[in-house]
Amino acid sequence: MNNAQFIVRKVAVLGAGVMGAQIAAHMVNANIETILFELPAEADDPNASVVKAVEKLKKHEPAPLSVKAKAGFIQAANYDQHLEQLKTCDVVIEAIAERMDWKQALYEKVAPFLGEQTIFASNTSGLSIDQLALAFPEALRHRFCGVHFFNPPRYMHLVELIPCAHSDALMLDNLESFLVTYLGKGVIRAKDTPNFIANRIGVFSLLATMHHGQSFGLGFDEVDALTGTLIGRPKSATFRTADVVGLDVLAHVIHTMRDTLKDDDWHAYFDTPDWLRGLIDEGAFGQKTKRGVYQKVGKEIQVLNLADNSYRVSRGEANDELKQQLKYSKPADKIAVMRNSQHMHGQFLWAVHRDLFHYCAVQLEHIADNARDLDLALRWGFGWEHGPFEIWQNSGWKRVADWINEDIAAGKCMRDTPLPSWVTKISEQEVAAVHTPHGSFAPASGLLHKRSALPVYRRQLYPDLLIGEDATYGETIFETDAVRMWHTGDKTAILSFKSKMHTIGKDVLNGIQDGLEEAEKNWKALVIWQTEPPFSVGANLKQATERPKPPQVEKREPAPPSVFEKFFKQFKKSAQATVLKAARELDMADALMARKLAEVEVMIAQFQQISQALRYSMIPTVAAVDGMALGGGCEFIMHCDHTVATMETYIGLVEAGVGLLPAGGGCKELAFRAAQTAVENDPFPQLKKYYQTVAMAELAKSAEQAKEFGFLRPADTIIMNRFELLHAAKLQALALAESGYRPPLRQRAIPVAGNTGAATIESMLVNMHEGGFISDHDFLIGKKIAFVMCGGDLTPGSLVDEEWFLELERAAFMELLATEKTQARIEHTLRTGKPLRN
Amino acid sequence: MVKQIQDAYIVAAVRTPVGKAPRGMFKHVRPDDMLVHVLKSVMELCEGVDPAAVDDVIAGCAMPEAEQGINVARVALLLAGLPNSVPGMTVNRFCASGLQSVAIAADRIRLGEADIIIAGGTESMSMVPMMGNKVSMNPAMFKHDENVAIAFGMGMTAEKVAEQWKVDREAQDEFALTSHQRAQAAIESGEFRQEIVPYTIDEKYPDLKTHQVREVSVARDTDEGPRADTSLAVLAKLKPVFAAHGSVTAGNSSQMSDGAGAVMLMSESAMRRFNLSPLGKFVGYSVAGVPPEIMGVGPIKAIPKVLEQTGVKSDDLDWIELNEAFAAQSLAVIRELGLDREKVNPLGGAIALGHPLGATGSIRVATLLHGLRRHKMKYGMVTMCIGSGMGAAGIFEAL
């Protein structure tokens, strides 16, 4: 290995099974040339197995491909004809079945064909990397290691990197850097022990949960109600996760632990319970066979009831009092709440956490370098909000350690193995913590280990922070209840929302306006970035729909003085006129409602002003987007000068779902973009596609798809790792600023599709309406959106300015909002989180 | 007033096999090329006819644009090697276009204004989709409720017919199954051999390994639509396409198709001149309008009209080619007019054989005339419903 810049031109994935194919998919998502190998098929086409696997990728849920078209970039190959091609691959990932003998046989076969610098890595989930290495000639072993992806590999952040005894240090660094930036993964270095870190702890946690669930006599659904979001784990909790993973896979992993971890003090628990074996014998593997711990009958979810070995309705609920206590207690008090609870649910949760802490403490030194690696592995591989050590530390290190010791002494723990001495040492420290701003505890040295110094991590201005680490973001420029504007010591200002889910209400709008003014005065560029996803779930619907109170109790407070007073004055007249007109037309001459609606229209007008300001301010604005960006969030993105989005960005104009339409410039912008691509001055063909995504409230399921949908522009930047987002966005902003940035000239001649376009769309709606696919109200919404996006009742090809569209947006939004059915939809969605069809 | 002075005879009637659209065997075959092929074929069958004596070529096409645009009849006749003195005209009456072209040709001969005309039709639904490449509706359709139905999709009108004429899902599926079974049996017993002129598809593909052009040439002589493997159970599983709680499915609707047909019409004197004998005689043709939202029942108006016009009695008809746009409308027509189910589409219909819109009329004239002659029958009819609310019916006599 030399020190030259490490470049991966091409990757080969060996094995087109579920994991191999999905890893290949993620490679092409990341624009990496990828060859996918499988055994030659006994069909006319020897690559038939790969072709079939790639076809499957297109239908797989959740989608392994960012867009279906990417499937065509996976090159099919087989071991009989194409091994020569391995020479051109810089990285080869083996992902065949978990059989030591098969893997070793394959290694022997491919070894002669590997390029001189090729890195070869196994995606084994638990086999010994050192033992696998033996299949390679000694001269090749320094280029071998394990890379353990988690399923589904596109979505799970974790990749465990496991060196063998011979692995070259620089090779590992190079591979890690590649995985982090180009595949967007969170890399944890694991020791070569069975099941590595995440599965070792995760599966132990599951076994402990099963054990305690059984001894407390809890149903599977009850256990899931307790071990999901209530304790910061995914909604699928314990058994539903097992169903998703596959009960057969789970049993395999447990058996690996049973067969290979004979020295583990908890070894007695590494076994599949009778009921699990029973299900597997019956072929009930969980989700993939439609039956497992759970099954779905019609719309009803049923759960296995061990008492009579039959299925019953799943209705497990956590004890209400405990639920309330956990909900309203501080994070630091939650473990104490469980332990002190008189209810068996609390006792169960304490037992589960206690034994997990116990096990992690004992095993840490054997499986991981430090406590941070273990916690991050569980967060990234199992979707836990916090790792075990974080929770322990946050609940008072010493206090919890004492409780565990008490329970060990009382014989309540699964094992009586004493806690390792380092636990006590930490308890005795002034700051009893394994995670500190200076690093995390490493049992081997007894020291705090800092985060990796690899250059790739310099891109992560703010890595995934653990409780106990320093979580301050730069220097504040100004801060309100709704937003914070800040910087990191250079001339780029960063604006972050503080609202829940980063919704956009009047206060956030004010914040952006103030931010833009400040940025124009004192900064080179503005980046909108959130400290965590989502980017924004859109406008704060509550403000728009809270019904006015009856007159006798209504007390109207004067509007707080704000920079928007001028907007208030400017728009009040026109707003009220429009609303009253709309209300009259819709038989809604309810003066009260009209007044409330007038306020909303002022807010909508503000919204549009902000969108336009993002576009036309004198400094470059860059949206740094990760996670969901809905409605108003999407509209802001569309109006920034540039967007840097992570691949896992989900953008949509979903207003139609609640009976509204995009009115923050979204319709305008899509109509404008369609006009830009118009062939022979006819924006309609493109506009029709944009219309469908808006009318159907479609959500782009990746940044790549957001480009297809027109929410992102072709030149917008897509990156793979969300922790590199701010870094990339700042550089893009700076590049714009340093390239003599000027806002675009205002659009004053946008050709519209006009009344013919609207009529053509209406013909589609008429058929859907007549066929009973859409309701009367859907029909109305669809027509309104068409009317706005087509520029209203105009001769096709007429030229309009942006304000023309914005007025149409506002008027249509208000007309829809004034309808009872739209109001019912919004209220329903706010109450239940689900859409209402009416 | 000008009156008929002579009869119009059909001396040749051919068609291509019908391919599935948009992903069938003719997906890359141009509709003008298909028309060229059937024009050449009728000329070859009418050996000895002086090409310069052809008075006109009239071709039906329902979406006459793009590959089948710029007056496809004239383009095709020139490419077919007919002299440039022969004129050409494309006509459009949607699904009746290929029958309308025959009727126009017959009328011109019957009036004595022409002696030899080739009528036909061509359509590639693979290349030019239903409603054309650029759909554009007149806003006036939506200003008055009574005009909204112009915008109805054909499937929607079939739902309306199914509802009004009480044609249930089971009856539609059973009708569709019969269509497939009859078509399959007809193919196996060679019923279509006389009318089909095989089409050789020439295609060129890149071989990315050698960077050579690979030429592929395949002759096709069999309709692609009929399915031997369908059953009531399979059909019953299909979901309604046009209405959430409807009964019209992809299985009981006509298939989208590619194909072409051509018919040589002559006066008696022309036949004598070139020493040809007739397959049959054109008897008469009618069209009628119905509300657009129930366009499928068009034949209910058109059939009695043509019977009255020609004096032929319903019972005299031995064979009826009723275009199966949808099982729902076919059954409504059959029930309303009391047609004999055994006489209607004995070789299957558009649900199995396909429906290349503007070509269907000419194609089914070929099926009818050859069929009548093979089975020693006399009178037959080609009839169909037409989008936006019309029906057409033409009567032929086998000789």
In a domain, A104, yes or no: yes
Query: Is the peptide bond between A534 and the residue preceding it cis, with omega within 30 degrees of 0?
Result: yes
Q: What is the pLDDT of residue A561?
A: 33
Please tell me the total number of residues recorded for chain A in this structure: 838
Residue A284 belongs to a domain: yes
List strands edge to edge, sheet with A33-38: A74-78, A33-38, A10-14, A91-94, A119-122, A144-149, A158-163, A186-189
A651 forms beta bridges with: A629
Q: Which residues of B touch A (CB under 8 A)?
A: 134-139, 141-142, 148, 151-153, 156, 159, 242-246
Question: Which of A755, A762, A763, A837 has the highest number of chain B CBs within 10 A, making it the mutation to test binding with B?
Answer: A763
Q: Which two tokens stand for residue A17?
A: 């099974």
> DSSP alpha helices (H): ranges in chain B?
31-45, 72-79, 97-110, 154-164, 169-188, 232-237, 268-273, 298-310, 327-337, 350-353, 360-374
Q: Around Cβ A555, how many Cβ atoms within 10 Å?
A: 6
**A285 is written with which tokens?**
């593997």
- Is residue A4 one of the residues assigned to a domain? no
Can you state the angle between helices A666-676 and A632-639, rounded to 10 degrees? 40
Separation CA A148–CA A188 (nearest Å): 10
Active site residue B95: yes
Q: How far apart are CA B219 and CA B204, in angstroms?
A: 15
Q: Is B385 a catalytic residue?
A: yes
Could you please report the per-residue DSSP string of B115-153?
Answer: SEEEEEEEEETTTS-TT-SS----GGGGTSGGGGGGG--
Are the beta carbons of B152 and A770 separated by less than 8 Å? Answer: yes
Of A685, A755, A771, the CB nearest to B139: A755
pLDDT in tens, A585-596: 443 334 455 667
Q: What is the pLDDT of residues A463-506, one digit of tens each?
A: 999 999 988 899 999 999 999 999 999 999 999 999 989 999 88
Q: Is residue A320 part of a domain?
A: yes
- Give residue B151's pLDDT band: very low, low, confident or very high (50, 70, 90): very high
What integer is the mean pLDDT of B59-74? Answer: 97
Q: What is the rounded distance in angstroms from the CA atom of residue A732 to the CA atom of residue A718? A: 12
A135 with A167, same domain? yes
Query: Environment class of residue B13 by beta-carbon count within 10 Å: exposed (0-12), middle (13-18) or buried (19+)?
Result: buried
A402 shares its domain with A504: no
Residue-level pLDDT at B2: 62
Q: What is the average pLDDT score of chain B?
A: 97
Q: B125, B331, B320: which is closest to B248 by C-alpha? A: B331
Query: What is the identity of the amino acid at A157?
Result: H
Last residue of a domain, one of A161, A189, A217: A189
Give A94's DSSP letter. E
Same domain, A118 and A247: no
Last residue in a domain, options A162, A189, A216: A189
- Measured torsion, CA atoms of residues A404, A410, A411, A413, in degrees rounded to the nearest 10: -20
A758: which chain B residues are within 8 Å (Cβ-Cβ)?
A: 139
Q: How much is the pLDDT for A555?
A: 38
ipTM value for the complex: 0.91
DSSP A646-661: EEEEEEE--GGGGT--
A388 near A198, Cβ under 8 Å? no
In the predicted model, residues of chain A with pLDDT beneath 70 are 1-3, 541-595
Same structural domain for residues A769 and A726? yes
Residue keyed to tokens 């994991």: A19
Q: 0.80 exceeded by the pTM? A: yes
Q: How far is the C-alpha of A673 from the C-alpha of A695, rounded, in Å? A: 17
Q: Which of B61, B95, B180, B370 is catalytic?
A: B95
Q: Closest residue of B to A755, CA-based?
A: B139
Using CA atoms, how far apart are residues A836 and A657, in angstroms rounded to an integer?
8
Burial class (CB in 10 A: 0-12, 13-18, 19+), B261: buried
Question: Which of these three, A157, A189, A221, is where a domain ends?
Answer: A189
Cα angle A286, A290, A291 (rounded to 5 degrees) comes to 55
Q: Which domain holds residue A496?
A: 475-822
Angle at B57 between CA B53 and CA B63, to 5 degrees: 175
Fill in the DSSP letter of residue A420. Answer: P
Q: Is the domain of A442 the same as that of A495?
A: no
Asked if residues A36 and A13 have their Cβ atoms less than 8 Å apart, the reply is yes
Q: Are A767 and B245 within 8 A, CB to CB? A: no
Whether A679 and chain B come into contact, CB under 8 Å, resolves to: no
**A126 & A212 share domain:** no
Q: Where does the pLDDT of residue B1 fall: very low under 50, low under 70, confident under 90, or very high at 90 and above?
A: low
CATH of the domain at A146: 3.40.50.720
Which of B134, B151, B242 has its CB closest to that of A763? B151
Residue B40 vs residues A724, B12, B36, B197, B261: alpha-carbon distances, Å: 67, 12, 6, 10, 11
Of A3, A20, A2, A138, give the one whose Cα is nearest residue A11: A20
Nearest residue in A to B135, CA atom: A760
Q: Which residues of A276-290 are buried (b: 16+ CB within 10 A; e: fewer)?
A: beebbeeebbbbebe
Q: Among partner residues A760, A771, A772, which is closest to B136 by beta-carbon distance?
A: A760
Which residue type is seen at A731? L
Q: According to DSSP H, which parts of A95-168 are helical? A: 100-110, 129-133
Q: How far is CA A606 from the centre of its chain?
A: 30
A551 and A691 belong to one structural domain: yes
- Residue B61 known to be catalytic: no
Q: Does A321 touch chain B (CB under 8 A)?
A: no
Cβ contacts of A586-589, under 8 Å, gap ≥ 24: A586/A815, A586/A818, A586/A819, A588/A818, A588/A819, A588/A820
- Cβ B142–A762 below 8 Å, yes or no? yes
Contacts of A776 in chain B (CB under 8 A): none
Residues in chain B closer than 8 A to A770 (CB atoms)? 152, 156, 243
Nearest to A772 among B134, B151, B244 (CB): B244
Residue A543: CATH number of its domain: 3.90.226.10
pLDDT digit string, tens, across residues B260-286? 999 999 999 999 999 999 999 999 999
Q: Residues A501, A646: one domain?
A: yes
Q: Is residue A454 part of a domain?
A: no
CATH code of the domain containing A426: 1.10.1040.50
Asked if A242 and A290 sit in the same domain, the reply is yes
When CB atoms are compared, the residue of A684, A763, A772 closest to B245 is A772
Residue A759 in contact with partner chain B when CB distance is under 8 A: yes
Cα–Cα distances in angstroms (integers) from residue A564 to residues A480, A610, A632, A672, A696, in the given order: 16, 11, 18, 27, 33
Residue A68 lies in a domain: yes
Contact A758 B139 (CB under 8 A): yes
Cβ A544 vs Cβ A516: under 8 Å: no
What confidence tier does B288 reach under pLDDT thresholds 50, 70, 90?
very high
A788: how many CB neighbours lie within 10 A of its CB? 29
- Give residue B162's pLDDT band: very low, low, confident or very high (50, 70, 90): very high
Question: Are A702 and A649 within 8 A, CB to CB?
Answer: yes
d(C-alpha B384, C-alpha B396), whole Å? 15
Is the domain of A357 the same as that of A506? Answer: no
* In contact, B191 and B327? CB cutoff 8 Å: no
Is residue A403 located within the same domain as residue A480? no
Question: Could you tell me if residue A214 is inside a domain?
Answer: yes
Count of domains observed in chain A: 3
CA angle centred on A697, ends A691 and A703, rounded to 5°: 90
φ, ψ of residue B152 in degrees (nearest 5): -65, 140
Of A685, A760, A773, the CB nearest to B137: A760
CB contact under 8 A, A762 and B245: no
> What pLDDT is attached to residue A725?
98
Q: Taking a contact as any Cβ pair under 8 Å apart, which residues of chain A between 768 and 827 contact chain B?
A: 770-773, 793
CB contact under 8 A, A763 and B242: no
Residue A835 lies in a domain: no
Q: Which residues contact B153 (CB under 8 A, 6 or more apart)?
A: A767, B242
- Active-site residue identified among B37, B180, B355, B370: B355
Do both A317 and A363 map to the same domain?
Answer: yes
Nearest to A814 by CA among A553, A641, A623, A595: A595
Q: What is the pLDDT of residue A404?
A: 97
Q: Read off the amino acid at residue A482.
A: A
CB under 8 Å to A560, separation ≥6 — which residues?
none
